[in-house]
Amino acid sequence: MAIQAKIKETEFRIGDLVRVIQVFHEGEKERSSPFEGTVIAIKGRGINKMFTVRRIGVDGIGIERIFPLYSPTISKIVVKKRGDTKRAKLYYLRKNK
């Protein structure tokens, strides 16, 4: 079974297609920034747990972001599609095709 994590009643695991919504406070304004991609790694223990999300940008360039699981800026994680994998890390998705 692949590694999984749970944050704010949302459970996700390696291989899932997720949308991470972060909220930033810029002065008096509040801005949300979504990032949608595949979870390729979950690392750490306890409060230090992090997960890596990878998506393919313009012209086929891969973009990865590492999010701390218990970050106060993460407002919501939405699981768009469940993945089916038996690996703990999906680093093979980084290779060029």
List pLDDT tens digits, range 1-44.
457 777 778 899 999 999 999 999 988 999 999 999 999 999 99
Mind giving me the DSSP string for 51-77? Answer: EEEEEE-GGG-EEEEEEETT-TTEEEE
List pLDDT tens digits, range 73-95.
999 999 999 988 888 999 998 88
Token pair in block for residue 55: 């998506």
What's the pLDDT score for residue 2?
59
- To the nearest 10°, the Cα dihedral for 79, 84, 89, 92? -110
The amino acid present at 10, given as its one-letter code, is T
What's the pLDDT score for residue 81?
94
What's the pLDDT score for residue 1?
46
The amino acid present at 58, given as its one-letter code, is V
Under 8 Å between Cβ of 63 and 56: yes
Question: What is the residue extent of each domain of the chain?
Answer: 1-23+38-77
